[in-house]
Amino acid sequence: MLNLHQLRIFWAVAHSPSLTRAAKQLGLTQPSISQQLARLESSLGGRLFDRINNQLVLTDAGHFLLRRAESILAEVDETEAGLAEFRLGRRGRIAVGALASLARCLLPQAYREALRELPDLEIDVHELAPAEALEQLYGRNLQIALLSSYSLPGNRVSFSRIELTQDPYALAVPRGLDLAAIRDPERELDSEQQRLLYRCIQFNFGNLHNRRIEEWYRRALPRHTTVATCRTYESALAMVEAGLGVALVPLLTTRLNGRLLFDVELYPAPGLERPIVALVPPQYRRVQPWQCFIAALERAGAALQPPALPSPPPFLRAAADPAPARP
């Protein structure tokens, strides 16, 4: 007999690259998940997965059940959320996963606005990397994730995607390295300034992000060398502040309530932005308190103003312009 517990396990495994990752999402052991899947297949009288090279691949029956499972679980979640409204009145609790910079810059304003309509609303904020936030959404431990759309694997996401804002990038350099009027770094900077400019501190954020950033560096600083990789933008900015190199960072990572968090110079990186989105299981968009909080997030994103920066240095502006067509 099919039950909701087995259906949730099946759904998480179908969206996960491995049983290990699914076990982490669900807070279960791998043997427990394997046992539940075996019971589900036995009760349905057929295989849902083929085991190929230590990977689970959905069968035709598995694909059919996955479509039905998404609909069934969404209806159950929406029903439970609606019943919670009656039980708790206007009170509710929302679990949100977000990059640290987005948690700082978007959530306070959105929460403040939501409290005007739902004064007893609680939020549970988890500062997570995008891959972790996505896993927690699939594991049904989060209801909302805030991240860059560039970090999303297009073939695995089955959530509503809500566009919130665009976060421009800037080149962070140590104080004293004045690039404002530089057209040709190799002609206009001395050897020590060149050495510093070409020492790049990169944020390791997955293949798609890394390719975009590396392509930008090839255009703007073709002689650059990666001297350090970091797992947070804050670590990269701290290294820049210490005079160890330069870093390409989203503007929201550099500020808190309008205050510059690190003593660095910032120059715009034309043509490079981080699209910020909220991922939400579609059923939550139709019930409170999520409906109210999502609307507040959209307003907070629309109202977010990036800090004013000087004009891009001429050499960065030239690197962003497309090459002129040949006659």
| Predicted local confidence at residue 1, as pLDDT | 65
8 A C-beta contact, residue 293 and residue 114: yes
**3-state secondary structure at position 279:** strand
Distance between CA 100 and CA 211 in Å, rounded? Answer: 22
| Predicted local confidence at residue 254, as pLDDT | 93
Residue of 300, 326, 289 whose CA lies nearest to 94: 289
Where in the chain are all domains bearing CATH 1.10.10.10? Answer: 4-83
Burial (0-12, 13-18, 19+ Cβ within 10 Å), 34:
middle
Q: What is the DSSP string of 205-266?
A: --HHHHHHHHHHHHHH-TT-EEEEEESSHHHHHHHHHTTS-BEEEEGGGGEETTEESSSEEE
Residue that is written with structure tokens 């517990």 in the block: 5
| Predicted local confidence at residue 324, as pLDDT | 42
Render the burial of 72-102: b for 16+ CB within 10 Å, e for the rest. bbbeebbeebeebeeeeeeebebbbbbbebb
The amino acid sitting at 8 is R
What is the DSSP code (8-state) at residue 312?
Answer: P
8 A C-beta contact, residue 213 and residue 230: no
What CATH architecture is 4-83? Orthogonal Bundle (1.10)
| Predicted local confidence at residue 234, as pLDDT | 92
103-117 residue pLDDT tens: 999 999 999 999 999
Where in the chain are all domains bearing CATH 3.40.190.10? Answer: 88-166+276-303, 167-272+310-320
- Domain 88-166+276-303, CATH number (from 3.30.530.20, 3.40.190.10, 1.10.630.10, 3.30.200.20): 3.40.190.10
| Predicted local confidence at residue 24, as pLDDT | 78
What CATH architecture is 167-272+310-320? 3-Layer(aba) Sandwich (3.40)
Q: What is the DSSP string of 5-40?
A: HHHHHHHHHHTSSSHHHHHHHHT--HHHHHHHHHHH
Q: Return phi, psi of residue 89, to 5°.
A: 70, -130
247-272 residue pLDDT tens: 999 999 998 877 889 999 999 998 88
**3-state secondary structure at position 174:** strand
Q: Which stretches in the chain have pLDDT values below 70?
A: 1, 78, 81-91, 153-157, 205-208, 321-327
| Strand-strand pairing, 247-250 and 225-230 | unpaired
| Predicted local confidence at residue 220, as pLDDT | 92
Tokens of 115: 């409290």
| Predicted local confidence at residue 327, as pLDDT | 31
Burial (0-12, 13-18, 19+ Cβ within 10 Å), 237:
buried
